[in-house]
Structure 1
């Protein structure tokens, strides 16, 4: 892993156990640590950070509890396999998918506003420019690691109040399922390269390929939502099965 710098030392404004957690999570996000890799022991972290055994133990324990690390008694502590998976055929709430794997779901709301459709965004929903839309951008994380950037445009008249919802406590999927029950869903999956903004929000490099799922949903015989769901290729995969 990279050498500890001032971000993780005693000059950092956060508690030392939190600095150790950030140090480990940053190493995973950069790819320095991959699933199955051994992380530094309590003794090694004590020496590197100059902290007590209790502080080092708390940092590792909390990372284990959140599903980021796994411990084998007598062997060591290792990076857990996040096994982040999504479905193409089945529509599932990302928060439920993450919790089903025993991990904690987190969300960071970049944007959630009301705006008028441009020619481009209007074409996504099949409406005229000037039509009232809601536009949200949310980063979803699994055990503290970003796995999806959700950008969504919603027809305002179908989901009133969308722009006032606290999407740190409920996902757009949950809200829309209640406001506008699904009748039809179209999916397109593409491999894409992220631009700088997308890469920054997903905490990846611009050279890392991503999986983009474009989802259009219909309710009450109308196209009501257009979403672009971008996932880091190294952290996510799609899977599904069906009987023929």
Structure 2
């Protein structure tokens, strides 16, 4: 933290002191003076600079964190948060394109794969028949080395038998399916869920943190193609759709 950085926090004299502090820091962030990843001055430095009590400074920072403008970590301090990634709400997304569109480097890790008869937990999770043969994949997608989304997917081998020969180490399953299969109908749902301990560890968030769960199933002429669950850390993402009176525009 430089002296010029903390000197940039200027109050406007309007309203409660905590709200003046909140607005001063907010404006520095929104105007790009403090870009994402910038260290926010610690509470004691802000107290000294602004002549405010610890409680007042703390209240301002808590509100900024609630607004998603800063991220507070006990050990690493407070930094300016990255803006949430935006997603087209109903499109069949290419996750690598999504990540690169945000200006980040893409990578993937296949965490687990199992081919053959779907096991009971998978049958329940994806509402499958008992005697269905699938490729069951768990994949972690990365953006600049940060976990971006956790994918769990089944691909129906009766409909897409070529999936058995693909290892998905270089091309993610969603992109591979767009190139190697057809679909005529899709079902799409988005819900808010809390991260389990295992999910939180993989996504580098805290257990119980809010996540956006995107669930999608596709069929081709009535035959199931794939079902996928995409778990996004809620604080890093938002979904956007634009519609007109006759559908998407």
CA distance in 2, matches of 1:211, 1:196: 16
Going from structure 1 to structure 2, the CA distance change for 1:133 and 1:87 (only over 3 Å counts) comes to same
- State the number of aligned residues: 175
Deviations 1:112-168 (Å, cap 9, x if unpaired)?
Answer: 220312456446666531321110000111111112100001111222242442433
Q: What are the ranges of 5 or more consecutive residues in structure 1 without an aligned counterpart? A: 1-33, 41-77
Q: Indicate conservation of the 8 Å contact 2:214/2:231, yes or no.
A: yes
**Is 1:207–2:208 an aligned residue pair?**
yes
CA distance in 2, matches of 1:186, 1:228: 12
| Partner in structure 2 of residue 139 of structure 1 | 140
Going from structure 1 to structure 2, the CA distance change for 1:200 and 1:120 (only over 3 Å counts) comes to closer
| Partner in structure 2 of residue 104 of structure 1 | 105
Q: Indicate conservation of the 8 Å contact 1:90/1:240, yes or no.
A: no
| Partner in structure 1 of residue 186 of structure 2 | 185
Structure-1-length-normalised TM-score:
0.63
Deviation at 1:179, TM superposition (A): 2.4
**Is 1:229–2:233 an aligned residue pair?**
no
User: Quick check: which has more Rg, 1 or 2?
Assistant: 2
Deviations 1:201-244 (Å, cap 9, x if unpaired)?
Answer: 11111031111111111123212211111011111111121221
| Partner in structure 1 of residue 38 of structure 2 | 38
CA distance in 1, matches of 2:141, 2:134: 22
CA distance in 2, matches of 1:239, 1:152: 23
CA distance in 2, matches of 1:101, 1:121: 32
Q: Indicate conservation of the 8 Å contact 1:189/1:212, yes or no.
A: yes
CA distance in 1, matches of 2:84, 2:35: 9
Deviations 1:9-41 (Å, cap 9, x if unpaired)?
Answer: xxxxxxxxxxxxxxxxxxxxxxxxx9634259x
Going from structure 1 to structure 2, the CA distance change for 1:193 and 1:159 (only over 3 Å counts) comes to same
Alignment of 1:143-154 (within 5 A): 143-154=144-155
Q: Indicate conservation of the 8 Å contact 2:159/2:223, yes or no.
A: no
